[in-house]
Amino acid sequence: GEHVKPFTPEKAKEIIMSLQQPAIFCNMVCDWPSRHWNATHLSEVLRGKQMRFRMGMKSISTVPQFETTCSYVEATLEEFLSWNCDYSSLSGPFRDYDHSKFWAYADYKYFISLFEDKTDIFQDVKWSDFGFPGRNGRESTLWIGSLGSHTPCHLDSYGCNLVFQVQGRKRWHLFPPEDTPLLYPTRIPYEESSVFSKINVVNPDLKRFPEFRKAQRHTVTLSPGQVLFVPRHWWHYVESIDPVTVSINSWIELEEDHLARVEEAITRMLVCALKTAENPQNTRAWLNPTEVEETSHEVNCHYLNGAVSALFDHYRTSKVRETQALGTNTEPTKEEELNVNSHMGQTYSQNSTKGAVKPETASPFGPGLVPVTQRSEEQYSEGGGGLFECDGKDLDDKDGEQIGKLHCARRHQMISHSEDAIMEQIASNRTTAPSKTFISTDDLLDCLVNPQVTRIVAQLLIQGRMCCHLF
The per-residue b/e assignment along 107-127, b for 16 or more CB within 10 angstroms, e otherwise, is: bebebeebbeeeeebbebbbb
Q: CATH number, domain at 110?
A: 2.60.120.650
Beta-carbon contacts of 51 under 8 Å, excluding residues fewer than 6 positions away, are 74, 75, 76, 77, 106, 109, 114
CA 351, 357, 361, 363 torsion-angle sign:
positive
pTM of the predicted structure, to 2 decimals: 0.82
For 35-46, b/e burial (b = at least 16 CB within 10 A) is bebbbeebbeeb
Q: Are residues 196 and 273 in the same domain?
A: no
Q: Which residues contact 96 (CB under 8 A, 6 or more apart)?
A: none
Q: Is residue 455 part of a domain?
A: yes
Domain end (from 235, 254, 273): 254
Give the whole-angstrom CA distance, residue 229 versus residue 160: 8
Same domain, 192 and 203: yes
What pLDDT digit, counting tens, does each position of 377-388 carry?
454 444 444 443
Q: Is residue 104 part of a domain?
A: yes
What is the extent of the structural domain holding 238?
9-254
In a domain, 444, yes or no: no
Residues 153 and 231 grouped into a single domain: yes
- Indicate whether 140 and 277 sit together in one domain: no
Given 196, 229, 254, which residue is the final one in a domain?
254
Q: Are residues 137 and 36 in the same domain?
A: yes
Domain match, 295 and 189 both: no
Domain count for the chain, please give it: 2
Residues 440-450: tens digit of each pLDDT:
999 999 999 99
238 and 316 share one domain: no
Amino acid letter for position 445: L
Q: Are residues 226 and 278 in the same domain?
A: no
- Among 254, 285, 305, residue at a domain's last position: 254
- Angular region, 294: left φ>0, alpha ψ -120 to 50, beta rest: beta
Say if CB 161 and CB 251 are below 8 A apart: yes
Residue 4 included in any domain: no
Say if residue 402's pLDDT is above 70.
no
Q: Are 283 and 229 members of one domain?
A: no
Inform me whether the pLDDT recorded for 435 exceeds 70. Answer: no
Q: Would residue 387 count as lying in a domain?
A: no
pLDDT at 428: 52
Whether residue 274 is contained in a domain is answered as yes
pLDDT on residue 80: 96
- Cα–Cα distance for residue pair 451/445, rounded to 1 Å: 11
What's the angle, vertex CA 62, arms to CA 56 and CA 63, rounded to 5? 60
Q: How far does Cα 292 stand from its chain's mean position?
A: 19
pLDDT tens-digit map of 110-137 = 999 999 989 999 999 999 999 999 999 9
Reported in sequence order, the residue ranges of 43-98 that DSSP labels E, i.e. its strands, are 51-57, 71-75
Same-domain status, 250 and 260: no
